[in-house]
């Protein structure tokens, strides 16, 4: 009598006649009174135990049949069309061959899980390999005095680089590089981590560093502060004629107008002072008084070029002396020059001659001092004469033009002027009391006496000459 073999759902698999073997399925099905069924039955049991382990799928599988694919080391189930993995991931260093959609593969080299999409394996996670260690975002809970805080930490090579938080808090447990957490992204302080890229706005700039990473990336410490004293090692250029304004009330300004520069003290009647440090002492060599416009120079005024006073006003100086050529290592002439339309007049010290000279248009002569004059013109010729204490002057010769009044009478004795030769001759004619004209007859004024003794009282008359000769 033949056997009818049914599946679980009641459908007929096959009908086996007596004494035969049916191979409609992956197992051998025996008919009644089949000789040697024991061996085949035992083989069927072994196949069931090993799930038909083979590199090739069973040739006549039934829906729901299990097969262990020794090529991929996976347990698969027949879905009525093909064998599919039963679940779990295939662990291997390379992707499985002939995968089905939904198959999982555990990459044993990188310790990552993949899923087969039907066309390729897609990484499920983690995003980093085992060699890269923890890298990427990780959700963590950090304790704080205000309760636990859920944050998202970013790691790179198993090092926490940044923490993303929705609020400010201070961790109660030590977090290396994160003494305090700010709302937003807080970078690890031990790494010197920075944001690098283009930013359109920043609330703060860290000014502690001064080392630029490049010519385009400038450290915050290299920017000038507007709210505190600061220093720059570069040139500060104000490319605007409005210039610079200094002071709490903007008292000092430096401006430009048509390339003319103006330094202005703008406060009413206030002074403009220029000070220097002289050996630790602050001095004011130049001071401009705002209320009067007076310029005061405290110290020496050194002019290397020409001094040109355009006005014709008389300049006055309170000082007793005006120094010229001071500090000049070489001895040069120095003095005063009066400019005229075509000439110039000078009064100067002639260094080569060691005396004062004066003159104009290149013709100069010595200015005589009392010390330059002499009383003895005979001993020191070509010198200016002066009298001795007694009123005497010594000269070799004297040539005089008419000096004083003419002698008109014998009583012209009150004049102290030096007479000329002609005046002396005329005086001789007057001696004798009256004037006798010269008539070429040797007439003379008065009488001439030659005696061996001096005249006595009563002898001669006014104008007479008396010559005493030796006996």
Rounded mean pLDDT, 106-120: 91
Do 24 and 119 sit in the same domain of this protein?
A: yes
pLDDT at residue 401 in the model: 64
The span from the CA of 189 to the CA of 208, in Å, is 14
- The angle formed by the CA atoms of residues 80, 88 and 109, to the nearest 5 degrees, is 130
Q: Mean pLDDT score of the chain, rounded to an integer?
A: 85
- Say if residue 285's pLDDT is above 90: yes
Residue ending a domain, choose from 75, 99, 125: 125
Residues 115 and 217 in one domain: no
Residue 383 is assigned to a structural domain of this protein: no
Q: Residue range 247-259: average pLDDT?
A: 94
Task: Write down the pLDDT at residue 407.
Answer: 62
Report pLDDT for 414: 65
Q: What is the mean pLDDT of residues 158-168?
A: 96
Rounded CA-CA distance 211/177 in Å is 22
* Domain count for the chain: 4
- How distant, in Å, are the alpha carbons of 144, 161, 208, 425 from that of 190? 21, 9, 15, 129
Domain final position from 210, 233, 256: 233
Q: What percent of the chain has pLDDT over 70?
A: 86
Confidence at residue 319, expressed as pLDDT on a 0 to 100 scale? 82
How does pLDDT run across 363-418, given as a tens digit for each residue? 898 898 888 889 888 888 888 888 988 888 888 887 766 566 666 655 566 666 66
Q: Assess whether pLDDT exceeds 60 at residue 443.
A: no
**Quick one: 91 and 141 in the same domain?**
no
| C-alpha to C-alpha distances, 286 to 183, 233, 247, 280, 390, nearest whole angstrom | 59, 29, 20, 18, 57
pTM, two decimal places: 0.40
Residue 196's pLDDT band (cuts 50, 70, 90): confident
3-state secondary structure of 126: coil
62-78 pLDDT per residue, tens: 999 999 988 878 888 99
For residues 413 and 409, give the distance between their C-alpha atoms in angstroms, rounded to a whole number. Answer: 9
Is a pLDDT exceeding 90 seen at residue 282? yes
The region that residue 147 occupies, defined by phi over 0 for left and psi between -120 and 50 for alpha, beta otherwise, is left
**Cβ burial, residue 159 (10 Å; 0-12/13-18/19+):** middle
Q: Is residue 35 part of a domain?
A: yes
121 and 184, same domain (yes or no): no
Instruction: Pull the structure tokens for residue 350.
Output: 């002639």
**Among 22-26, 237-241, 465-469, which is the least confidently predicted range?**
465-469
Pair (251, 138) in one structural domain: no
Instruction: Provide, for the chain, the percentages of residues in helix, strand and coil under a 3-state DSSP scheme, each rounded to the nearest 5.
Output: 5, 30, 65
Considering the domain architecture, whether residues 278 and 218 belong to the same structural domain is answered as no
pLDDT at 321: 86
Range of the domain at 160: 133-233
């Amino acid at each position: 009598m033949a056997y009818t073999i049914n599946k679980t759902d009641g459908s007929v698999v096959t009908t086996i006649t007596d004494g035969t073997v049916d191979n409609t399925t992956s197992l051998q099905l025996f008919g009644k009174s089949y000789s040697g069924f024991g061996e085949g039955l035992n083989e069927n049991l072994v196949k069931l135990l090993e799930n038909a382990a083979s590199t090739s799928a069973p040739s006549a599988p039934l829906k729901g049949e299990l097969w262990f694919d020794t090529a991929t080391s996976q347990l698969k189930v027949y879905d009525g069309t093909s064998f599919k993995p039963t679940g779990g991931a295939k662990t291997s260093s390379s992707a499985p061959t002939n995968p089905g959609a939904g198959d999982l593969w555990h990459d044993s080299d990188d310790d990552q899980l993949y899923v087969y999409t039907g066309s390729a394996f897609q990484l499920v996670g983690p995003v980093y390999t085992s060699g890269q260690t923890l890298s990427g975002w990780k959700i963590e809970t950090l304790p704080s005095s205000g309760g636990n805080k859920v944050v998202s930490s970013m790691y790179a090579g198993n090092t926490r680089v940044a923490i993303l938080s929705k609020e400010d808090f201070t961790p109660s447990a030590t977090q290396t590089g994160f003494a305090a957490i700010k709302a937003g992204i807080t970078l690890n302080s031990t790494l010197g981590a920075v944001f690098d890229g283009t930013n359109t706005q920043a609330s703060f700039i860290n000014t502690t560093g001064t080392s630029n990473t490049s010519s385009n990336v400038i450290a915050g410490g290299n920017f000038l502060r507007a709210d505190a004293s600061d220093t720059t090692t570069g040139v500060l250029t104000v490319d605007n004629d409005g210039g610079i304004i200094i002071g709490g009330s903007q008292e000092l300004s430096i401006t430009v107008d048509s390339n003319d520069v103006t330094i202005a003290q703008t406060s009413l009647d206030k002074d403009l002072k220029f000070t220097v440090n002289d050996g630790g002492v602050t001095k004011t060599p130049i001071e401009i008084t705002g209320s009067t416009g007076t310029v005061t120079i405290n110290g020496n005024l050194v002019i290397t070029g020409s001094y040109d006073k355009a006005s014709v006003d008389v300049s006055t100086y309170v000082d007793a002396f005006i120094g010229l050529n001071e500090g000049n290592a070489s001895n040069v002439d120095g003095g005063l020059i009066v400019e005229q339309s075509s000439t110039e007049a000078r009064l100067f010290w002639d260094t080569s001659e060691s005396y004062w000279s004066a003159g104009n248009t290149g013709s100069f002569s010595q200015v005589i001092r009392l010390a330059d004059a002499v009383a003895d013109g005979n001993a020191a010729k070509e010198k200016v004469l002066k009298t001795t204490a007694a009123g005497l002057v010594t000269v070799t010769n004297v040539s005089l033009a008419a000096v004083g009044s003419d002698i008109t009478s014998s009583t012209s004795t009150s004049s102290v002027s030096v007479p000329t030769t002609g005046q002396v001759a005329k005086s001789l004619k007057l001696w004798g009391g009256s004037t006798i004209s010269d008539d070429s007859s040797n007439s003379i004024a008065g009488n001439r006496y030659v005696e061996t003794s001096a005249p006595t009282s009563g002898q001669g008359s006014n104008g007479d000459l008396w010559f005493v000769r030796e006996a």
